[in-house]
Amino acid sequence: MNIAALYHRSDSEFAYLYSPDKFHIRLRTAKDDIREVSLVNGDPYRLWGEWHIDLFNEKLPMKIIASTDANDYWMVEMSAKHKRLHYSFLIVGNDGKEMFFCEKGVYPVRKPYISNHNYYFRFPYLHEIDMIKTPDWVRNTVWYQIFPERYRNGDVSNDPVGTLVWNSKEPKLNDFFGGDLQGIIDKLGHIKSLGFNGIYLCPIFKSPSNHKYDTTDYFEIDPAFGTKETLKKLVNECHKHGIKVMLDAVFNHIGDSSEQWRDIVKNGTASKYASWFHIKEFPVSYAETDIVGVADLTYDSFAFTHHMPKLNTANPEVQEYLLSVARFWIEECEIDAWRLDVANEVDHHFWKRFRKEITDLKNEIFILGEIWQSPQSWLRGDEIHAVMNYSLTEAILEYFIRGNISASEMITTMNRQFMLYAQQTNEVMLNLLDSHDTPRLMTVANGNGELVKSVLAFMFLQTGSPCIYYGTEIGMFGGEEPGCRGCMEWDENKWDKDMYSFIASLVAFRRKYSDIISFSNTKWETDDERNIIKLEKEHNGSILVGIFNNGTADLKIAFETPLLSSETRIEKNNTVIGAGGFYIGINNF
C-alpha cells in the first residue's frame, strides 16, 4: 500500500456540506492501489463512554468517483443530521494490508488508535452558514455570450462618429460598427429560438473604446449602446422569456478618461483620488518601450496598458464606490449575475465584502470570476461562486483540436480540476470553448464543422453551466483578438444552417438532461490506441452514455436510438459512429 499517497483534509474540498442535510467526504489514494475504503464515523457525544466500539462498527463504504494518472478519489455522501462528526478511514490495499487513516496519521487496524477519539478527523459542529452556497438556477442555465458592439445595430441614432457599415471589413482594435442594446432586444427571438436561458454581456458602461473594458463612468450606459431605460427594457424582455442576464464588472482597473484619473493627472498628490490607485511616483506618466504592448509606467495598470490604471481596492473609498456600482444595477435593472473581470488581481478582502453586500441584496445573484489559473482560494464560499472554466477549455482543445494529448491525459487533467472544488461549485462553473478573448472555435478547428459539433457535444456533457459565444451557432470564424470580435452575420443565406440546427438541439438536450449531467459522477473508458472515449452518467434510474470516435476507423455499437449524434449511420441493427463522430443516448433501468 502506498501510504504516502493517502490524503485528506477536513473543512475543505475533501470534507464539506453539500446541502443542509448532506455531507460529502473524499479521500485521495494512489491509482489502482486500494481495494476498499470504509468511513468510520459517529457523533462523539452520542457514543460517550464505550463510544469507540459503536463508532468502529458504524462504517460507510466509499466509492471511486474520479481518477487521474496518479490517483483515485473516493467519496461517500452521508446524512448531516447529527451535526457533530468524528471520522476516519479503514483502508484495504490490493496487497491485502489493512490500515487506519486518521488525523494523526496511518496506523495498523488495532487499539489504541481506533479507540482514541483524539485520533479522528472531526467537525465539531456542521454550521449551515459555513456551507458553500451556489444559486440553484445556474446549473440549469445555458449561456449565450454577446460582445455588444458587434451583435446588431438596432439604433443608428446613437452610432459613434466614424461608425462603419455593418460587417463591411475585418474588425480592427479601434473600429466601431454600431452594435447596441436595442440590437440585442431586436434579436431576442433568435436567442430564444435556440433555447438559451442566460445572456452574458461584455461591458456596457460608458467608455471610449469598442470593448468598454476601460470604463469612464460605471453609473451610465455607454451612449453608443443606449440608456438605463434600454437596459431595463432588455432585462425585462429577457425575464419575460425566462432568460437571465449577466453584466460584466471591470473593478480591477478604470479608464484613463474617467473623472478620477483625470483629477490625478491634473492635481497630482493634491487630488482627492490620489490614494485610489497604485501610484509609484507623481506626476503620473508613461513611456513606450522597445517591447510591443509594454509601457514604462509610474503606476500599476491592467497588464502594461497605460490607459487602464489599476484601482486600489484596499482603499475604503474605492470599496464603497465599487460596491455602490454593484448594488445600483441590481436595484435599478434587476440583473441576475455579475461577471468579474480580472478577478484574480483584486484582493480577497474586497471580494469578501462584495459577496456579502450583493447576496444580502439579492440572495440568488450569481458571481462569476475571470480567473485563468487554479481559483481554489476564491472558491471557498465567501467570495465568488464560480469561474470561467478555462482549465477545462484547454484540456478539451488540447485533445480534440490540437491533438497534443491523449484521451486519458485529457481526462486526468479534467478530473484533477474537478477534485479541487466542492461538488456544488463544479455544478455552476461556466464551461466554454471560446470567447471574446480567444480565437473562435471554428477557426481553431480549421473550419471542420463536424469536429466543432463533437467538441461542443463533449463540453455540454460536463458538469457545469455551458456557454456559447455569439456566432458559433451560424459557423462564424475569427482569429486572435480583435478577429474573434467580428460583426454577427445576419444574412441567413450566409449561415451554416446545419450548425444552427445542431446548436438548437444541443441546447435543448442540455436543458432537458441537466439533472443527470449535474448530479452524477462520470464513469470513463478510453482507448488511446483507437482514440475512443466513452462516458456514462447515472442518476435516478437513468444512464446517459456518450461515445466519441476521434480515430480514423468506424466504430460499431449495439443499436440504440440516439438523443444526439454526428457522423453516425445504422447498419444491421448497429449504430456505426464514423471517424470524428459521436453518439449520445440514454438507457433507463
Q: So which residues are the catalytic ones?
A: 341, 370
Please compute Rg for the chain using Cα positions.
Answer: 26
C-alpha cell at 117: 477519539
Cα distances from 450 to residues 80, 209, 447, 453, 567, in angstroms, run 47, 36, 9, 5, 8
CA torsion angle 511 514 248 250 (round to 10)? -160
* Residue 46 grid cell: 452520542
H or E stretch covering 188: helix 188-194
d(CA 195, CA 126): 40
In a 13 Å sphere around the CA of 280, the CA atoms on its Cβ side amount to 9
Q: How many Å apart are CA 260 and CA 265, to the nearest integer? A: 9
**Distance, CA of 17 to CA of 5 (rounded, Å):** 25
Beta carbons within 10 angstroms of residue 109's beta carbon: 15
Strand partners, 199: 144, 245
On the 0-12 / 13-18 / 19+ scale of CB atoms within 10 A, 490 is middle
Three cell numbers written together for 337: 449575475
- Asked whether 468 and 436 are in contact (CB, 8 A), the reply is no
CB atoms within 10 A of CB 132: 18
